[in-house]
Structure 1
Amino acid sequence: MQLIAYIITYPILWLISILPFRLLYAFSDVVYFIMFRLIGYRKATVKENLRLVFPDKPEEEINKITSQFYHHFCDMMVEAIKSMTISEAELRKRYTFTNVDLIHDLEKKQRSIILMCGHYGSWEWVFILQKQIKHKGYAVYKRLANKYFDRLVKRIRAKHNSYLITTKETFEVLNKSKKKGELTINGFAADQSPKPNKAHHWNEFMGIKVPMYTGAELMAKRLDMAVVFFAVKRLKRGYYETTFTTITEHPKDIKDYEITDAYFKLVEKQIIEAPQYYLWTHRRWKHRDKVPAEFQ
């Protein structure tokens, strides 16, 4: 069944991917109408999240942010499909970096990097960074259920010298690279919600206490990697600008969980500035009522 689904779906995705951007975003508008206006995909979750973190915003503003979010969400989906055929030159034009010299400086210092981001703005096209730096690129991801689509996503990233690894593979792969003397830059989107019984750290995110993933911090300390955050700004439809911020070059000198807390503050800053570009469809605050006594 997986192969049949792939055989049927792949040609459709390819045809969408070769559309010129004007038609691609017209298609996105159609998807928006179906997803938001007709189906209401996760609309209740989006509004619940927005009301939770912005209790002082009037309902009119919540509705406006919700609509803007779905427009952006649909754009991200078609941009991900566009990744199948988009050229390097087009990517360089549409996804730019304000201070890539920060990465080059760490390269000169022979420092591998844990590159952290939130599910904000656009992270689909960040792999074009690999064409501008010498670090070998890895991104931690959740393997897709359909093995054929999983291979497709890996092939797309590999075109730009970026490789996907699962959480379970991460330490083994990165430790092996370290022993070889390879410089690596390793992407983590760490703002999802871990299970409460597996969380080692709880703190406030957008004013609400939640469990926090600490795997990126742990990996940085175990392998002695610099920690860098990248913030994405949407300039206009289909154009993004990324800015790097060093959280620490020497994670072993930082107290436990301070790196994680600093990361979440940086994600918060983006959300407060332009909330419509955050991924509101996932239930990030679902464990807020399960705070262990020692963290209250």
Structure 2
Amino acid sequence: MAVMRKSSVVNFFVYLVSLLPFWVLYRLSDILYVLLYHVAGYRKAVVRENLRNAFPEKSENERRQIARKFYRFLPDLIVESIKMRSISAEEAKRRIAIYGIEELERHFEAGKGVVGVTAHYANWELGIHRLSLLTDNPVLIIYKPLHNKTVDTIYNSVRSRFGAVMVPMKQTLRKIVAYRQQPHISVFVADQTPMHRDSDYFIRFLNQDTLVYTGAEKIAKKTNFPVVFCHIDRLRRGYYCCTFTTLVENPAEVPGHGITDIHNRFTEDIIRQKPEWWLWSHRRWKRKPKV
């Protein structure tokens, strides 16, 4: 009950802030950038280490420029995520262009479900809204519940505004089985950091041994649903595009951890092209291979 009351209070405050026009929110973002980067130095050590390990071939100045661009983008992402609380359907559609929609439509027309994979890249929160408004078929968002229940409740209420079904990781298979007989898309944010008890599969990702989830692959193989990558890119401040690309047509035919390897390589290629839009403040490599 206390969590619910706290969530309601915080949710109302977020709603009030979200009513501000974009131009006001971006002025707040400008201030937040100064506070995060120049004053507080928010996770600067983590960002520097991540970039140094990911791009040893780049000069210190090149990595510094990537970091600065990332910190300039991060507060924009924060205020845009708040705006998601009250943004209209029309505005959400206007803010993110869609490419490759035929990749989803042909799978839906064949009566198939789709295993969608994406990453913490550009504005994935806006991507959830846009995908929900793109199709009348069910949109399932597979997520890792946060330890902070108040924030978790608020995030879920925002993400489900336009009909997305929020599915905790541990309930994924049961929920997808429930939708198995109708076209739908289940979206996995595939660049999260699992616990050792949740995965034992390491790949080479951005020049480092990286523990990865294999849930999307397991679901794809059990259902033989095609795997489609949802690539969200930033065009300019406040505007994005999402491109759908089918990575695997018949998952049952892919041996071993091939599907996990494919969508992680695809993610890495995207990050290497425009590294500033990835979440570098995330402690992605805190899990190490067991010796």
Equivalent residue number for residue 113 of structure 2: 112
| Residue 165 in structure 1 maps to residue 150 in structure 2 | no
Equivalent residue number for residue 142 of structure 1: 144
Q: CA deviation at 1:138?
A: 0.7
TM-score of the two chains, using structure 1 as the length reference: 0.91
Equivalent residue number for residue 272 of structure 1: 272
Sequence identity percentage: 32
Q: CA deviation at 1:39?
A: 1.1
Q: CA deviation at 1:183?
A: 1.8
Distance 2:210 2:106 in 1: 35
| Contact 1:210-1:291 at 8 Å conserved across structures | no
Distance 1:153 1:209 in 2: 30
Equivalent residue number for residue 50 of structure 2: 49
Which structure 1 segments of 5+ residues have no match?
A: none
Distance 1:155 1:197 in 2: 29
| Residue 188 in structure 1 maps to residue 182 in structure 2 | no
- Could you say what secondary structure the match of 2:124 adopts? coil
Q: CA deviation at 1:262?
A: 0.7
| Residue 241 in structure 1 maps to residue 245 in structure 2 | no
Deviation digits for residues 27-60 of structure 1 (CA, Å, limit 9, x no counterpart): 1111111122111111100110000111122222
Equivalent residue number for residue 72 of structure 1: 73
- Could you say what secondary structure the match of 1:229 adopts? strand
Which structure 2 segments of 5+ residues have no match?
A: none
2:257 counterpart letter in structure 1: Y
Q: CA deviation at 1:201?
A: 2.2
Distance 2:96 2:35 in 1: 28
| Contact 2:117-2:187 at 8 Å conserved across structures | yes
Which stretch shows the higher mean deviation, 62-71 or 257-266? 62-71
CA separation of 1:169/1:36 partners in 2, compared to 1, >3 Å: closer, same or farther?
Answer: same
Equivalent residue number for residue 85 of structure 1: 86
Q: CA deviation at 1:5?
A: 3.9
TM-score of the two chains, using structure 2 as the length reference: 0.93
Equivalent residue number for residue 286 of structure 1: 286
- Give the number of aligned pairs: 289
- Could you say what secondary structure the match of 1:114 adopts? strand
Equivalent residue number for residue 20 of structure 2: 19
Equivalent residue number for residue 226 of structure 1: 226
Q: CA deviation at 1:283?
A: 1.8
| Contact 2:113-2:185 at 8 Å conserved across structures | yes
Distance 2:240 2:96 in 1: 5
Distance 1:41 1:5 in 2: 26
| Contact 2:55-2:207 at 8 Å conserved across structures | no
